Amino acid sequence: MNAEARDRRGIYDSLRPEIEDIHLVDAHNHLPSEEAWLESEPDWTAFLGYLVTDLANAGLPRDELMMGLTADERWRLDYGHDPGPDTRSPEEKWQIIKPYWPYVRHMGSADVTRTALKITFGHDDLCDEAIADIQDRLPELMKPGAYRKHLKEECKIDCVLSVTQALEECPPTDVMAPQLFTDTYVAVEKRRDIFRLEQSTGRNIYSLKTFLEALDALLEDSVERGMVGMKWHIWAYLRDMDFDVANEYEAARALDKILQMPARGGAGASTAVGFNEMRPFQNLVQNHLVQRSIDLDLPVQIHAATLGASYGGQLKGDPKALIQLFLRYPEARFDILHAAYPWTRELGALTHIFPNVYINMSWLDILSPVSYKAFLRDWLTGIPLNKIFAYGADQFFMLLTPACAKRVRDFVAEVLADLVADGEMAEEDALFAADCILRKNAWEYWKLAERWEGRYG
Ligand SMILES: [Zn+2]
């Protein structure tokens, strides 16, 4: 070991325990409520997380992969058919995966799985013995209070910003602060999509005006009930994201196409008018949401990256498509998810010139650990420290979240140790940077002191 390498290692060893003490804010996650989690009866395959799609990519047939999903999830994912209840034993599922495991076990997604198994059960790897042991011990962990214990007490995650379709599905708690997934109310094509908003708000919708009034009522009510932000997701894969200024009449006509479908509950009522037909409406409502985010002082979190949990899709998440919105709404605050991977360098440039654009690095640590570290190093010396959120677990199963936190703490310590060793940063500046990107920035951006801590934290 040469002197420089020893120096780097020494700096890492000094920084890492300090970084362990930072209380995290998880800037993007998909955890269900603890109640829903307790009812979910997972087996060991819940620990696969994003590995499911990586296994398919490695050749595991998709029909074999629908393990661990409930019938409802299979429907939600539009798998195309319902294969019925999964009657295979946990051991049988492992035998199906086992031949593909050597090809993926070094990937970021598998590192999350292995790290979670190590933290939770003390196992270093997936193997026949580990599967049996995990199966035996998993039910003991599914206890009320588990979220608080595993996230807050053991992992020092103070607050998890979790995306939800409706506040009643995942209300705020002393661990969780919800962000509303607004696509549910904008990517509408059918009567039932409109009816959902009517039901949530107790209002009748028969025009663009009454639709927007209902949407505003939903947003205001959600803020009242603890919503801390909005999240947009699916747009990049279905259409362009420029959300041009819309003609109100055209938007109203598009909505009226849905209202002209056969009446609710009757034959043909479930017919979709077509996603592209709704384009003027989508443009108008997305702009309306940004305007309301300014009025309500809420951030807008936008997925602009490769499509997660996907078996193929358009590669159109380039955040440059959002420049129109960035320019039109300087008072809005946008955090761009997953560091816009693979348009990561472009997002760095956008964040550098737009005061209203922030980098959310969630999931990049899994997608590409090397890119995570390289770009974090670049941005820590090229972009103001308060524009970066370095941690968001982006998981659907709670017990994977501590593993994501550990890996991100490791990565941040490595990057900062390199910067200190190269003389780019003093050690105390490195610790200030770590606190900003892991806690302080998210705490302030989502206004958690006002919106969450006093009420639920
Ligand atoms: Zn996500």
Task: Provide the β-strand partners of residue 26.
Answer: 160
Cα of 214 vs centre of ligand 1, distance in Å, is 27
Mean pLDDT of 168-176: 96
Cα of 425 vs centre of ligand 1, distance in Å, is 32
Spatial distance between the Cα atoms of 212 and 269, rounded to a whole number of angstroms: 22
- What is the reported pLDDT for 454? 86
- β strands within 263-376, DSSP E: 300-302, 334-336, 357-360
Tens digit of each residue's pLDDT (9 = 90 or more) over 298-348: 999 999 999 888 888 899 999 999 999 999 999 999 999 999 999 999 999
Cα of 362 vs centre of ligand 1, distance in Å, is 8
Residue 144, amino acid: P
Q: How far is C-alpha 178 from the geometric centre of its chain's CA atoms?
A: 11
Residues, CB-to-ion distance under 5 Å, ligand 1: 394
Cα of 29 vs centre of ligand 1, distance in Å, is 6
Cα of 162 vs centre of ligand 1, distance in Å, is 9
Tokens of 309: 């949990």
Spatial distance between the Cα atoms of 325 and 372, rounded to a whole number of angstroms: 26
Cα of 206 vs centre of ligand 1, distance in Å, is 33
Question: H or E stretch including 360?
Answer: strand 357-360
Spatial distance between the Cα atoms of 230 and 301, rounded to a whole number of angstroms: 6
Check whether 5 has a pLDDT greater than 70: no
Write down the CATH number for the domain with range 147-453: 3.20.20.140
End-to-end CA distance of the chain: 47
Per-residue exposure over 110-126, b if at least 16 CB sit within 10 Å of its own CB, e if not: bbbbbbbbebbbebeeb
Cα of 16 vs centre of ligand 1, distance in Å, is 27
Tokens of 400: 């994977």
Task: Provide the β-strand partners of residue 357.
Answer: 334
Cα of 54 vs centre of ligand 1, distance in Å, is 16
Cα of 302 vs centre of ligand 1, distance in Å, is 10
Check whether 90 has a pLDDT greater than 70: yes
Tens digit of each residue's pLDDT (9 = 90 or more) over 378-392: 999 999 999 999 999
Main-chain dihedrals φ then ψ at residue 229, nearest 5 degrees: -175, 170
Cα of 175 vs centre of ligand 1, distance in Å, is 18
Cα of 457 vs centre of ligand 1, distance in Å, is 23
Residue 418, amino acid: D
- What is the reported pLDDT for 87? 80
Spatial distance between the Cα atoms of 265 and 51, rounded to a whole number of angstroms: 40
Spatial distance between the Cα atoms of 197 and 215, rounded to a whole number of angstroms: 7
Domain ranges of the chain: 43-141, 147-453
Cα of 337 vs centre of ligand 1, distance in Å, is 8
Cα of 222 vs centre of ligand 1, distance in Å, is 20
* Confidence label for 395 from pLDDT (cuts 50, 70 and 90): very high
**Torsion sign, CA atoms 168, 174, 176, 178:** positive
Cα of 137 vs centre of ligand 1, distance in Å, is 28
450 or 65, greater pLDDT: 450
Cα of 299 vs centre of ligand 1, distance in Å, is 16
Cα of 23 vs centre of ligand 1, distance in Å, is 21
Spatial distance between the Cα atoms of 32 and 175, rounded to a whole number of angstroms: 12
- What is the reported pLDDT for 201? 96
